[in-house]
Chains A and B, each alone.
Chain A
Amino acid sequence: MSHSTSMTEANAPVLRVRDLRVYYETPKGDVLAVDGVDLDLFEGEALGLVGESGCGKSTAAMGILQLVNPPGRIVGGSVELGGRDLLKLSEEEVRQIRWTRLALIPQGAMNSLNPTMRVASQIEDVIVAHEGAQRKEALRLRILELLRRVGLPERVYDLYPHELSGGMKQRVCIAMAIALNPRVIIADESTSALDVVVQRVVAQTIQRVRHDLGMAMIMIGHDMGLMAQMVDRIAVMYAGKVVEVAPVRALFATPRHPYAQLLIDSVPTLRERKPLRSSEGITHDPRNPPPGCIFQLRCPHVMDVCRSAAPQLKRVGPGQWAACHLYAEPAEEGGRHE
């Protein structure tokens, strides 16, 4: 797989997330699902967002899209898209930005389409909502072109979602996402609910469409193998925080954060079965994280400073950033800390 875009940090990012906090209210206090996430997404790049279940990656995506449902709420931070902070806009302004600039390929392929509307109407309504009413025939041709682009036959136009397979539904969602040619697409575990063969086809469809249209994409998932093939950079999340961001090759070759190291070490290869090294899951109470580093309870390299001071993201290599006290000074090329 080729990585189509080269990433340079000099460019201004299309999407710039700073200190995003999304909390879920529970009777025993707030769950800090996303607690101070920083992300930059550059023009045309694919950024992978990985981490174990419950680490807050999907919640972070919903926070960026301003679609956090109660009992969740966005507590603070900023989500700048094309220079405008979405959190400061009115609801109507956010509505107009949605899909025209920021689209979503949803998580549940099986249930993401309205069962009582034909495929065509569901693509049509988003076009009409943002561009106003237009000639039926023009709309029809445009929708057929979108379907063709994601490799769906014309007959899908008149079908209802229950008449499609899981992979076809997911491709309808991709066609929908590119309908208004947004600059940023968030793909939230878009291939997780599919079997591996269909998963590959859908992933290739996403890649092709992205290549053709040149949009930037955040891909959320936990399939490290798929990520390695599809994204330019990877951000690793743990317990509501980004612990490491790195170009995909650097992350696989030299992961710096101890959690990222555990994660990469657990990726099996064809020749080698690997034991799952990070088996415990998030160990602390997410309502009441310990002071200092969030990974201290599971970290093999834990030090005294980790129990008092929370580490910030620090540059640890070319384009590689890690939030860990092991790297007090910016490190140049170096081996794994084992």
Chain B
Amino acid sequence: MGRYSIGFIAQRLGIFLLTIWIAASVIWLIPRLAPGDPISAMIMRMSSSGGRVENADKIIAGWKERFGLNDPLPVQYVRYMGNLLRFDFGYSLAHFPTPVADIIGLALPWTLGLLLVAVTLAFFIGNFLGAIMVWGKTPGLIRAVIPMFMIFTSIPSILAAIFLIYVFAFLLEWFPLAGSYPLGMKVELSWRFISAVIWHATLPALSVVLVNFGYWTLGMRGMMITVEGEDYIQLARAKGLKPFYVLYRYLVRNAILPQITAFAITLGSLVSGQVLVEYIFGYQGMGNIIFAAITSQDFPVIQGASFMLIVITALAVLIMDLTYPLIDPRISYERN
């Protein structure tokens, strides 16, 4: 089925690139609207903490020249955009001279790996519970018990994280207290390493799942009730179809559509990580990096991380846009 036309794909891609361009421009513009400049501010910090800085003016002028801050703004802008295209975000101030791209490159896979799994699990568990909460064939006991799990939704993820660490890592010692993998272990594609990674990721993932699945349950429950009232459900029952078939092919298939849209938006926010969860578990992901960059005023890292956040959010929305016609036949990118 030709559900797509070149024109619509081009349009979606255009919106994707436009979003990134506007966002990148805003990230570039905002610091330049602020009074002062980062190099004077850095020298001032250095002099206030470490005493007098010799020849401060000369150093400032030298660095300004080095970073190209004396060039006219349009020239700076073009250079900045050129660098972004190569994912060159400059150097970290806190870990000079490590490139920002290296820092992000090391952290991003960990966060994506952990959160992609955790958020996907939360999505499936949440929607499953929401669906069976409404389904008429679910035993009453199960339907009565599910709302009790909702209590996790009202607990902040940091509290859940601390609780999990206390019980499962500290008291029971089933899981490690912190880290992404055992210190000193070689990073390789071996079963030993992968199982260690999973073992370390269990508690952080669990804290994310516990806190998040309730939102999906409630959303799914609402959608299920709406779809339950539709005429085609009545007809499906009248047709004498098997109850389980009606559940997944008629009820869930239609109720889940808006949930999938919401999921795409959630995926976008993954890059920023669950800052506090990663911090508490000492997980070396984006959340930890952003947290450290904010406390040390490491501007290039914040800028680079923000840019990656925008790119991945826009990418998730793009993928959503392009796959949605496959999920909902009423949406079509064919030109009529």
Q: Given contacts A99-B239, A103-B238, A114-B232, is CB(A129)–CB(B329) below 8 Å? A: no
Q: A115-B254, A125-B245, A162-B329 are in contact. Are A108 and B231 (CB under 8 A)?
A: yes
Q: Closest CB-CB distance, B133 to chain A, in whole Å?
A: 15
Indicate whether A164 reaches chain B with its CB closer than 8 angstroms: no
Instruction: Please tell me the size bucket of the interface on A.
Output: 20 to 34
> Does A107 count as interface, using CB distance less than 8 angstroms?
yes
Q: Please measure, in the bound complex, the distance between the C-alpha atom of A126 and the C-alpha atom of B250, giving whole angstroms.
A: 13
A114 touches B250 (CB 8 A): yes
Whether A67 lies near B240 (C-beta < 8 A) is no
A67→B237 contact, CB < 8 A: yes
Give the most central of B234, B237, B243, B328: most A CB within 10 Å: B234
**A-B CB contact pairs (8 Å), 28 listed:** A65-B238, A67-B234, A95-B240, A95-B241, A95-B242, A103-B238, A104-B238, A106-B231, A106-B235, A111-B231, A112-B231, A112-B232, A113-B235, A114-B232, A114-B249, A114-B254, A115-B330, A116-B254, A116-B329, A117-B253, A118-B329, A125-B239, A126-B241, A129-B239, A129-B241, A129-B245, A162-B329, A173-B235
B257-291 with Cβ < 8 A to chain A: 257
**Which partner residue on chain B sits nearest A129 by CB separation?**
B241
Whether, in the assembled complex, A312 has its beta carbon less than 8 Å from a beta carbon of chain B, the answer is no
**Contact at B235–A112, with CB atoms within 8 Å?**
yes
Residues B330 and A126 in contact, CB atoms below 8 Å apart: no
Interface status of A96 (Cβ within 8 A of chain B): yes
Q: Which 3 A-B pairs have the closest CB atoms?
A: A98-B240, A104-B238, A108-B231
State A65–B238 Cα separation when bound (angstroms).
7
The answer for the CA separation of A162 and B254 in the assembled complex, in Å, is 14
Give chain A residues whose Cβ lies under 8 Å from the Cβ of B253: 114, 116-117
Decide: B241 and A104 in contact? CB cutoff 8 A: no
CB nearest neighbor in A for B242:
A129
**Contacts A116-B328, A162-B330 supplied; 15 other A-B pairs, CB < 8 Å:** A67-B234, A95-B241, A96-B240, A98-B240, A99-B239, A99-B240, A106-B231, A106-B235, A111-B230, A111-B232, A114-B249, A115-B328, A117-B253, A126-B240, A130-B240
In the complex, which residues 79-133 of chain A have their Cβ closer than 8 Å to any Cβ of chain B?
94-100, 103-104, 106-108, 111-118, 125-126, 129-130
B236 at the interface (CB under 8 A from A): yes
What is the distance, in angstroms, from A189's C-beta to the closest C-beta of chain B? 11
Main secondary structure of the interface of B (DSSP, over half): helix
Which residue of A69, A107, A117, A126 contacts B239 across the interface (Cβ within 8 Å)?
A: A126
Give the one of A99, A113, A125, A130 with max B CB within 10 A: A125
A67 and B238 contacting across the interface, CB-CB below 8 Å: yes
Contacts of B230 in A (CB 8 A): 111
Docked complex Cα distance between A317 and B245 (Å): 49
Cβ of B218 to closest chain A Cβ, rounded Å: 21
- Give the chain B neighbours of A173 by CB distance below 8 A: 235
Asked if A160 is an interface residue, CB under 8 A from chain B, the answer is yes
Task: Knowing A116-B329, A117-B249 are in contact, say whether A98-B231 is a contact too (CB < 8 A).
Answer: no
C-alpha spacing A108/B239, complex, angstroms: 16
Inter-chain contact A100/B240, CB cutoff 8 Å? yes
Which chain B residues border A115 with CB–CB below 8 Å?
232, 254, 328-330
Whole-angstrom distance from the CB of A293 to the nearest CB of chain B? 33
User: Which residues of B lie under 8 Å from residue A129 when comparing CB positions?
Assistant: 239-242, 245
Q: Which of B71-108 contact A (CB under 8 A)?
A: none
**Contact partners of B243 in chain A: CB under 8 A:** 95
Question: A176 to chain B: which residues have CB within 8 Å?
Answer: 239
With both chains docked as a complex, state the minimum distance between the C-beta of B146 and any C-beta of chain A, in angstroms.
19
A224 to chain B, nearest CB (A): 25
Residue pair A98, B238 in contact (C-beta under 8 Å)? yes
- Interface contact A106-B249, CB-CB below 8 Å: no
When distances are taken between beta carbons in the complex, the residues of chain B under 8 Å from A116 are 253-254, 257, 328-329
Instruction: Give bound CA distance, A148 to B260, whole Å.
Output: 37
Closest chain B residue to A117, Cβ basis:
B249
How many angstroms between the C-alpha atoms of A162 and B240 in the bound complex?
24
Within the assembled complex, what's the spacing in Å between the Cα atoms of A95 and B244?
13
A116 to B250, CA, bound (A): 8
Which residues of B sit under 8 angstroms from A130, Cβ to Cβ?
Answer: 240
CA distance A72 to B189 in the complex (A): 60
